[in-house]
């Protein structure tokens, strides 16, 4: 998997975090993974098509979801409810809105679908190789699974 692909999906997470939360998101580690995983946390997914194709998964543990929703809404959230789900989905939409431009600047014109929240406990089978990046912040940890490849010409 090319670094240009991965960075086009990871950099917007850090930039959006900084811009919307006035907080730093620190890269902890990345690991190659493959196959099936279970969505144990709030997980939003986007599909990518064009010169780059695949999926990207944004994982937010409960404590991170609640902290983000509290910060973004301006009032304390204690329960994972429809408002928290909507806030996380909108936040991921902000993150992913700049991905096509970043890929285009690298010569990989692609389209990105709006994010969708997956059900907890969903078994997800991914056919492309994955890079699973882990980040930390004052709001809690975040995981991003990038599973994309260059489309066959």
What would the pLDDT profile of 96-133 be if each residue is shown by its tens digit?
A: 998 999 888 888 899 999 999 998 888 998 887 899 99
Task: Write down the pLDDT at residue 60.
Answer: 97
Task: Write down the pLDDT at residue 4.
Answer: 66
Alpha-carbon 105 to chain mean position: 20
Task: Write down the pLDDT at residue 26.
Answer: 96
Rounded percentage of the chain residues whose pLDDT exceeds 70:
97
Task: Write down the pLDDT at residue 6.
Answer: 86
Query: Does the pLDDT value for residue 152 go beyond 90?
Result: no
Task: Write down the pLDDT at residue 54.
Answer: 93
Give residue-wise pLDDT tens across range 26-80.
999 999 998 889 999 999 999 999 999 999 999 999 999 999 999 999 999 999 9
Q: Which residues contact 143 (CB under 8 A, 6 or more apart)?
A: 41, 57, 58, 59, 132, 133, 134, 135
Query: Does the pLDDT value for residue 153 go beyond 80?
Result: no
Task: Write down the pLDDT at residue 50.
Answer: 94
**Comparing C-alpha atoms, which of 36, 88, 34, 86 is closest to residue 61?**
88
Going from the N-terminus, what domains does the chain have, and what CATH number goes with each?
A: 3-150 (3.40.1550.10)
Mean of the pLDDT values across residues 125-148? Answer: 93
List the beta bridge partners of residue 135: 27, 142
């Amino acid at each position: 998997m090319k670094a240009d692909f991965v960075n086009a999906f990871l950099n917007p997470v850090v930039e959006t975090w900084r811009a919307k939360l006035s907080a730093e998101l620190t890269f902890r580690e990345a690991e190659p993974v493959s196959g099936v995983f279970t969505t144990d946390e709030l997980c939003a997914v986007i599909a990518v098509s064009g010169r780059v194709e695949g999926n990207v998964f944004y994982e937010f543990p409960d404590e991170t979801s609640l902290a983000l929703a509290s910060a973004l809404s301006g009032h304390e959230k204690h329960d994972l409810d429809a408002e928290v789900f909507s806030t996380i989905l909108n936040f991921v939409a902000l993150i992913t809105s700049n991905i096509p431009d970043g890929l285009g600047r690298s010569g990989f014109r692609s389209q990105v679908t709006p994010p969708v929240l997956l059900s907890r406990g969903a078994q997800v089978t991914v056919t492309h190789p994955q890079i699973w990046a882990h980040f930390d912040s004052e709001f809690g940890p975040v995981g991003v699974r990038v599973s994309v490849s260059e489309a066959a010409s």
